[in-house]
Structure 1
Amino acid sequence: MKVLVLCALVAAAAVWPNFGMMADSLGGASDAQKQHDVNSILWKIYGEICDPHLKELSQTFDPLSGHYDDGGVSARRLMKELNDERLLEQKHWFSLFNTRQRQEALMLYDVLEHSTDWDTFAGNAAFFRVRMNEGEFVYAIYAAVVHSHLTEHVVLPPLYEVTPHLFTNSGVIQGAYKAKMTQTAVTIKSQFTGSKSNPEQRVAYFGEDIGMNTHHVTWHLEFPFWWDDAHEDHHIDRKGESFFRVHHQLTVRFDAERLSNYLDPVNELHWDDVIYEGFAPHTMYKYGGYFPSRPDNVNFEDVDGVARVRDMLILESRIRDAIAHGYFTGRDGSVISIRDAHGIDILGDVIESSTYSPNPEYYGSLHNTAHVMLGRQGDPHGKFALPPGVLEHFETATRDPAFFRLHKYMDNIFREHKDSLTPYTKEDLEFSGVSVEGITFSNRLETHFEEFEYSLVNAVDDTTEVADVPISAKVDRLTHNDFTLKIDITNNNDHDVLATVRIFAWPKYDNNHVEFSFNEGRWNAIEMDKFWVKLGGGSNHITRSSKLSAVTVPDVPSFHSLIEKAEEALASGSELHLEEYHSSLGLPNRFLLPKGKTEGMDFHVVVFVSDGAKDGAVAGLHESTTFNHYGCEDGKYPDKQPHGYPLDRRVDDERIISGVSNFFSTDVKVFHIEGQ
C-alpha cells in the first residue's frame, strides 16, 4: 500500500548518502534535499515529524545560533514571544484575517526568509513545527518557500493534501476517520455543497473546485497584502493592478459558468441591501468546530470588533469620490493622480488594502474588511462564539457564492475608474505593417467532467498504535479536451518584428439570448492567453497549444508523488527535475474553457497582436519558457501594457478597434459532453 510506506520513505532519505550530488550554490543543499525536507516538515502536520534528522533538529536546534541577513533580529523576536508564552496554542483554528494570528505567522516567515543557508532554514522549520500553531506554521512555510531565494526550485505539495479539511465537506472527513479507525482502505465520493433545489448548485463545481481554491490561495501567497518593501528585497511590480485583474477574471469566469448553466450573471452585494443567498458550508475545521452558516435573506449587521455597516459605506464613498475626482490624497496631503494607465494600480492597493496603499488611515481596507464582515454574518456579535467563516480563509472563500457577489461589487468600482479613462484611439492600437488574417481551432471545443482522486491521509490524526491505510476522496471536476489555436499573421515590414499575441473570449449572448454589445462583451472578456513571438517577413503561421496558455498551470503533483521523486533523486544522486511546477500561480489548465452547453454555447473570440518591442518590460520574452504572466522572479511584470489591454478601456465605437489590421475576431461554440 502506497500510504504505508510514505513515512518510511521520508525517514529513509535521511540516511541516503549525498555522494555525487550537486549541492545548490545557494544554501548548501541540493534541490532534492530541500524538496525532501519541505515534504517531511509538511507531512502529517498535526502529528510527529517522520524524518529522524528533522525530528532531532526539532529538539536540538537553537534558532539564535542560525545565520541570518538581519543579524538575527527576527529570530530573537519570535523566541521572546515563544518564551513569554504569547503564541497561539496548537490545535486551534488560524485565520490570516485575524491580526494577531497573522502577526505570529509572519514572525516565523521573517525568520525563514532571513535565513541565509539551508541548515538554518530547515532547523527553524523543524524547531517551530513542534511549538507553533499548525495553521500559522503552514502559512509561514508556504509563504517562505514561495518567496525565499533558498527555495526557488522547491515545489509545495498541494494544500488540499496537507490540510484536507479546508477543501472538502465534513461527511468526507468523518468517513476518513472511520476508515482509519476500522483500518479499511477507502475512496470516498465527495459531493458539492447544497442540493438540486438550489440553483447555485449548478455552478458549485467552479467555486468548490480544489484547484480553484488552490489558485486563489496561491495568488494571495505570491502577492500578499502584508508585503512590505521595507523588510523585503524587492518591490512587487503592479501588485494593486494584479489584485484587480485576478479577481476580475474570477468574476467574469464565474459569470460565464453561470451562463453555461442557464443562470443570469451574478448581481453585486451591497452594504445597505439584503444578502439574498445564504450558504451552508458543510465544512469543518480540523480543530475548532464547523464553519458557520448564513441563512437566506439577511441584512448586513455591524460586526463587533471589526466594522460597522456605515463604516463600509463611508469607505466606499471616499474611494468612489477619489475616482470621480481622478486622484487620491496621500497621508501627507499630496495629490496622487489616477487618471492614467497606472491609476488602476493605486486603486487596487487602496481597495485591498495592501501596505502599498498611500493612505490606509483614510481609505481603509475595503476588501479585507469586507471578507470578514461577510464571513461573520452568521454570528456578527459573537453570541455563539463561532469560528471564522469561509470568507475569512483564501482556501475556502470561493466556496461561498457570495464571494463572487462581493467581488462583483468591487469589480464595478474598478470599472468606474476604467470607464473614466479616455478610450484608445486608432493610433494607440495600430501595429504598423502587421495584420491578422485568420484564426482557427484544431478541433471542436469540448468540456466534460472527470473524476479526480486525492489523498486524505493527512486529514486524520496519527497514532503509533494504528497504522495508516489508504484513504482518498474522489470528486468530479470540469476539464476540456486539448486544442490548438492556429493564427495566420502577415508582416509587411521589411524586417522581423517582435509581437505580443493577446487572445480573449466572451459569451456572445446573455441568458435571454440577447447579444452583448462590444463594450459589454469586452468588459466580460476571459483572457485565454498572452505570449510573445518573432514575426518574419511575409506570412507567419502561429500554432499555440491550449496546454501552453500563460494564464493556466498544470496540476501540482500529489504529495506522494513529490515524496517519491525527491527520494529517488536522493537515492541515485541525480538532479531533481520539477521545472514544470516551479510556478503554480495560474488557474488549473482544465479551467481554460468555460463549461459551455450540450447544444453548444457561442463565444466571441478576439486576437490582438501588438508591438512586442514596445510592450516588453524585459528582454527575450519570445524565447522565454518560464511562466511569466503574473511577473518575473524579481517581481517585475514583463508587459508594459495594462492588464487586459486593449479591452481594459471602454469602447465607444467598435469600429475603432475592429478596424485596425492587427485585430481579428471570430465566433466559436463550446460543447459540454455529458457523462464522459
Structure 2
Amino acid sequence: MKVFVLCALLATAAAWPNLGFQSDDAGGASNAQKQHDVNYMLWKVYEEMRDPAMKAIEDSFEPEGDSAHYDDDGTSIHKLMQELQQHRLLEQKHWFSLFNTRQRHEALMLYDVLEHSSDWATFTGNAAFFRKRMNEGEFVYALYAAVLHSSLTQHVVLPPLYEVTPHMFTNSEVITEAYRAKMTQTPAKIKSSFTGSQSNPEQRVAYFGEDIGMNTHHVMWHLEFPFWWDDSHESHHLDRKGENFFWVHHQLTVRFDAERLSNYLAPVEELHWEDPIHEGFAPHTMYKYGGNFPSRPDEIIFEDVDGVARVRDMIITENRIRDAIAHGYVTAKDGSKINIRDSHGIDVLGDVIESSTYSPNTQYYGALHNTAHVMLGRQGDPHGKYDLPPGVLEHFETATRDPTFFRLHKYMDNIFKEHKHSLPAYTKEELEFTGVAVDSIGVEGPLETYFEDFEYSLLNAVDDTVEIDDVEISTFVPRLNHKDFSVNIDVTNNNGETVDGTVRIFAYPRFDNNHVKFTLNEGFWNAIELDKFWVKLSPGANHIVRKSSESSLTVPDVPSFKSLIEQADAAVAGGSELHLEEFESSLGLPNRFLIPKGNSNGLEFVLIAFVSDGKADAAVENLHTNTVFNHYGHEGKYPDNRPHGYPLDRHIDDERLINELPNWSHSIVKVFNHGEHIHHH
C-alpha cells in the first residue's frame, strides 16, 4: 500500500553525486532507474556490489552531507551515523531476527533514513552506503520496508525474497548441493522435497506451509502492516490494521484446515500454554551465517524462556484479553473504557492481541502474538544453554513451515471468535439489499488442482567473487495450482434503476473430517473468502461471469529476480518505460492457492454468493471503477465499510433468516485432485 505523499522536493545540491538520472518524476529518476538500483542493492547482498555506478557511491557518498535532503532535517541520519561511528551496530555475516529488539531497532533506524530521504539520489546513496556497512539481514528488511512505504518507490517491484535470501526458503540439503555445484563450477538443477518423511502425517500438508509463495505472502503482509508502525513517525495511519491482522491469519487458518480435510486429516487443534506441544519439528533449513535452525522434539511441555516471558505470564495475558471480551470493553492506559462490542471492536482487539503500537494498553494486555512466536520458537533451547540461533517461528519468512504455527494461530483465532460471537447477530435490515435477488451461482470449468514444478534461482545462496563467472544453479519444488474456472452469478435488480452492488464470494467445506455436516454457524466460521468486487447492476437480469484469475484477493507470481534485472537494465539502456504494474503489490495470496487441493473423490464445498448494497458499503468514491488492489486497502483507506468476512463473520441465531434472504444464493461444488503432477523439464 504505497501511499502517495507529495513531498516538497528540494533542488538537488551540486555537491550531490549525479548518477545521470533521467528526471521524469518526483524524486529525480525514472521508474526503470529506480527498479535497476533496487535490484542491484539486493543482488548478491552478501557480496560486493555488482553495479559499477553504485559501487562508486558506496564510499563517495556522505550521508550527513546536506540535511536539506531529508524531510526530518537529518535527525534520523545523525542518529544512525552516531551508532555506526561508535561501532554499536550488529556485525555483518550474522543472523538477523525482527523479534530481537535491538536488531529490529537497528533495521528501523536505516528504514527511517530511507523513508526520510526526499529525493532518489539521497535514497539510493544511503542504501549503497549502508549496504556495505550494516548487517545484511537488517539491510534487506529496512530496504524492503522502505520500498513498500516510501513515496519515491511506489512503482518499484521488490524481487522475490526466496531469490534474495534463499537460505530462508530452501532445505539445507539443497543448499549444500548448490555449494557443491558452485565449487566445481557445474550448472545444476536440484530437486527440492518437503521436510519430514512419509511416517509423519503432517507431511501430507507440507506443500501448504512450506510453499514459498505462502511464505512470501506472509512476510509481505507483515511488512505492509508492521507491528512497529508508529503514526507519530509516519506519514499516515494504517487503516483497520488490527482487523486486517485478524482476518489474514483467520484466512490462513481456515485454508490450512481445508487442505487438511483434502488430505483426510483432522482440523488443527489449538495450542495451549498448559498442554504439551504434540508435534515436534525438524526444519531442515540453515542460516546463511549462524548454523542450523533449531529442532524441537515431540511432546514437550512449554517452559519459561529466559529474557522473553514466563509461561504463567502468557496465561495471565490471555485471561486479561478474554476478560475484556466478556466485559465488552478494553481498558486504556489512562483507565478509560474503549467499547469493543461493535463492528469496530475487532480492530481494537487485533491491535491488542498482536500487539502493535496501536494497542491502547500494552502494559496491561502485553503482546500475546509477538511473544508467543518467540516463546514457541525457543522451546528447543529455552534457557540459551546451547546458544542456538532463533527458531523458524522468529522469522515471518519461515514461520509457516512449522505445523505448530497454525496451532498457535488457531489458538488466537479462537479468542477472536469468542469476540465475534459476543456480538449481536446481523438483523434482516443489516443483511438485505432492497429490490436485488441472487437467482443462482454456479461454476464453469473444472474445480481441479494439480502440482507443478516451480523453479527458482539459488545464485544468491552461494558465495562468490567478482572474478569467477556465475554458473546457473537452481532448484525446483512441487507446488499447488488449479485449472482455470469462472464463477457465474445471475442477479435480478427490480429497482427500476441501475444500482451499485458488492459481490462477495465464499466457500466452506460441507462436511468435517468425520463426514458430519457443518451447521451454518460452523460453515460460516470456516469459510474461505474467494473474491470480492463491485458491479453496476442494470434493471432486470444481470449475468455476472468472474474468472478465477481475476480474484481481487490474489496476486500473480512476481517475476524472477533475473528477469527483473534484465527488464530494468534494458529499459534504462533504451530510455524506455518499464511496465510491471501488475506486480507492484505482492500483498494478496498467490492466485494458484485460490482453492484448496481437494482429492480424488471430490471434496464438497458450499459455494456462496452474497450481493450487498454497494452504496452503503463504499468507503471511497467511485467504487465500481476501483478494480485494483482490493486486498487490504488502497491509499490508506480500506474501500469496503463492512467488516472483513461480512456477512459470515457473526453467529446466526435463526437459520431461517439467512435462508429467506433474497440477495444470497449457494450451490454445492466439488474440488478434485487426481494426483496430476506436471514436470517442466
Which residue number in structure 2 is paired with residue 655 of structure 1?
656
Letter in 1 for 2:657: I
Which residue number in structure 2 is paired with residue 299 of structure 1?
301
Which residue number in structure 2 is paired with residue 668 of structure 1?
669
Asked whether the 8 Å contact 1:112–1:125 carries over to 2, the reply is: yes
Aligned 1:344-423 pairs, distance under 5 A: 344-423=346-425
Letter in 2 for 1:659: E
C-alpha deviation, 1:161, in angstroms: 0.1
Q: Whole-Å Cα distance in 1 between the matches of residues 294 and 523 of structure 2? A: 37
Asked whether the 8 Å contact 1:303–1:381 carries over to 2, the reply is: yes
Which residue number in structure 2 is paired with residue 55 of structure 1?
55
> SS state of the match for residue 29, structure 1?
coil
Letter in 2 for 1:547: S
Q: Whole-Å Cα distance in 1 between the matches of residues 670 and 361 of structure 2? A: 47
Which residue number in structure 2 is paired with residue 622 of structure 1?
624
Which residue number in structure 1 is paired with residue 600 of structure 2?
598
Letter in 2 for 1:29: A
Which residue number in structure 2 is paired with residue 119 of structure 1?
121
Q: Deviations over 1:38-62 (max 9, x none)?
A: 0011000000001111111110101
Q: Deviations over 1:547-593 (max 9, x none)?
A: 11111100000001101111121122111100010111000000001
Q: Whole-Å Cα distance in 1 between the matches of residues 367 and 419 of structure 2? A: 18
C-alpha deviation, 1:628, in angstroms: 2.3
Which residue number in structure 1 is paired with residue 37 of structure 2?
37
Q: Whole-Å Cα distance in 1 between the matches of residues 276 and 243 of structure 2? A: 30
Asked whether the 8 Å contact 2:280–2:295 carries over to 1, the reply is: yes
Letter in 2 for 1:671: F
Aligned 1:259-278 pairs, distance under 5 A: 259-278=261-280
Letter in 2 for 1:447: T
Letter in 2 for 1:480: H
Counterparts in 2 of 1:193 and 1:663: CA distance versus 1, 3 Å: same
**Structure 1 residue runs without a partner (length 5+):** 1-13
Asked whether the 8 Å contact 1:435–1:663 carries over to 2, the reply is: yes
Aligned 1:448-463 pairs, distance under 5 A: 448-463=450-465
Q: Whole-Å Cα distance in 2 between the matches of residues 528 and 24 of structure 1? A: 39
Which residue number in structure 2 is paired with residue 4 of structure 1?
none
C-alpha deviation, 1:654, in angstroms: 1.7
C-alpha deviation, 1:156, in angstroms: 0.2
> SS state of the match for residue 64, structure 1?
coil
Structure 1 ranges of 4+ moved more than 6 A = 14-18
> SS state of the match for residue 674, structure 1?
strand
Q: Whole-Å Cα distance in 1 between the matches of residues 510 and 601 of structure 2? A: 15
Which residue number in structure 1 is paired with residue 11 of structure 2?
none
For the pair 1:107 / 2:95, whether they are aligned, the reply is no
Q: Whole-Å Cα distance in 2 between the matches of residues 553 and 477 of structure 1? A: 16
Q: CA RMSD in A?
A: 1.2
Aligned length: 659
Q: Deviations over 1:270-325 (max 9, x none)?
A: 00110000000010000000000000000000000000000000000000000000
Q: Whole-Å Cα distance in 1 between the matches of residues 203 and 336 of structure 2? A: 49
> SS state of the match for residue 254, structure 1?
helix
Aligned 1:548-559 pairs, distance under 5 A: 548-559=550-561
Which residue number in structure 1 is paired with residue 3 of structure 2?
none
Aligned 1:571-582 pairs, distance under 5 A: 571-582=573-584
Q: Whole-Å Cα distance in 1 between the matches of residues 167 and 604 of structure 2? A: 38
C-alpha deviation, 1:643, in angstroms: 0.3
Q: Whole-Å Cα distance in 2 between the matches of residues 24 and 504 of structure 1? A: 44
Which residue number in structure 2 is paired with residue 246 of structure 1?
248
Asked whether the 8 Å contact 1:303–1:377 carries over to 2, the reply is: yes
> SS state of the match for residue 221, structure 1?
helix
Single out whichever of 563-572 and 132-141 deviates more from structure 2.
563-572
Asked whether the 8 Å contact 1:146–1:152 carries over to 2, the reply is: yes
Which residue number in structure 1 is paired with residue 637 of structure 2?
636
> SS state of the match for residue 62, structure 1?
coil
> SS state of the match for residue 452, structure 1?
strand
Q: Whole-Å Cα distance in 2 between the matches of residues 193 and 652 of structure 1? A: 44
Asked whether the 8 Å contact 1:257–1:594 carries over to 2, the reply is: yes
**Structure 2 residue runs without a partner (length 5+):** 1-16
Q: Whole-Å Cα distance in 1 between the matches of residues 291 and 188 of structure 2? A: 25
Q: Deviations over 1:469-491 (max 9, x none)?
A: 00001000000001111111111
Q: Whole-Å Cα distance in 2 between the matches of residues 65 and 248 of structure 1? A: 48
> SS state of the match for residue 544, structure 1?
strand
Q: Whole-Å Cα distance in 2 between the matches of residues 627 and 335 of structure 1? A: 35
Asked whether the 8 Å contact 1:282–1:291 carries over to 2, the reply is: yes
Q: Whole-Å Cα distance in 2 between the matches of residues 658 and 70 of structure 1? A: 57
Aligned 1:208-227 pairs, distance under 5 A: 208-227=210-229
Equivalent of 2:239, from 221, 237, 240? 237
Asked whether the 8 Å contact 2:552–2:628 carries over to 1, the reply is: no
Letter in 1 for 2:410: K
Q: Whole-Å Cα distance in 2 between the matches of residues 510 and 161 of structure 1? A: 38
Asked whether the 8 Å contact 1:17–1:571 carries over to 2, the reply is: no
Asked whether the 8 Å contact 1:16–1:571 carries over to 2, the reply is: no
Aligned 1:385-534 pairs, distance under 5 A: 385-534=387-536
Asked whether the 8 Å contact 1:478–1:595 carries over to 2, the reply is: yes
Percent identity of equivalent pairs: 72
> SS state of the match for residue 245, structure 1?
helix
Single out whichever of 547-556 and 462-471 deviates more from structure 2.
462-471
> SS state of the match for residue 675, structure 2?
coil
Counterparts in 2 of 1:120 and 1:16: CA distance versus 1, 3 Å: closer
C-alpha deviation, 1:440, in angstroms: 1.6
Q: Whole-Å Cα distance in 2 between the matches of residues 518 and 72 of structure 1? A: 57
Letter in 1 for 2:56: E
C-alpha deviation, 1:15, in angstroms: 12
Asked whether the 8 Å contact 1:500–1:610 carries over to 2, the reply is: yes
Q: Whole-Å Cα distance in 1 between the matches of residues 266 and 314 of structure 2? A: 27
Asked whether the 8 Å contact 1:279–1:296 carries over to 2, the reply is: yes
C-alpha deviation, 1:467, in angstroms: 2.4
Letter in 2 for 1:361: Q
Query: TM-score, normalised to structure 1's length?
Result: 0.96
Q: Whole-Å Cα distance in 1 between the matches of residues 306 and 109 of structure 2? A: 27
Equivalent of 2:330, from 328, 331, 338? 328
Q: Deviations over 1:116-148 (max 9, x none)?
A: 100000000000000000000000000000000
Q: Deviations over 1:470-529 (max 9, x none)?
A: 000100000000111111111100211010000000111111111111100000000000
Query: TM-score, normalised to structure 2's length?
Result: 0.96
Asked whether the 8 Å contact 2:446–2:484 carries over to 1, the reply is: no
Asked whether the 8 Å contact 1:251–1:407 carries over to 2, the reply is: yes
Q: Whole-Å Cα distance in 2 between the matches of residues 15 and 463 of structure 1? A: 28
Letter in 2 for 1:33: Q
Single out whichever of 209-218 and 655-664 deviates more from structure 2.
655-664
Q: Deviations over 1:16-54 (max 9, x none)?
A: 977xx6x34210100000000000110000000011111
Q: Deviations over 1:600-633 (max 9, x none)?
A: 1100111100001100100122112321220012
Counterparts in 2 of 1:24 and 1:152: CA distance versus 1, 3 Å: farther
Single out whichever of 655-664 and 187-196 deviates more from structure 2.
655-664
Letter in 2 for 1:619: E
C-alpha deviation, 1:599, in angstroms: 1.6
> SS state of the match for residue 285, structure 2?
coil
Q: Whole-Å Cα distance in 2 between the matches of residues 623 and 324 of structure 1? A: 41
Q: Whole-Å Cα distance in 1 between the matches of residues 20 and 304 of structure 2? A: 60
Q: Whole-Å Cα distance in 2 between the matches of residues 16 and 102 of structure 1? A: 31
Q: Whole-Å Cα distance in 1 between the matches of residues 150 and 618 of structure 2? A: 26
For the pair 1:309 / 2:311, whether they are aligned, the reply is yes
Asked whether the 8 Å contact 2:18–2:121 carries over to 1, the reply is: no
Asked whether the 8 Å contact 2:19–2:53 carries over to 1, the reply is: no
> SS state of the match for residue 275, structure 1?
coil
Equivalent of 1:283, from 282, 285, 298? 285
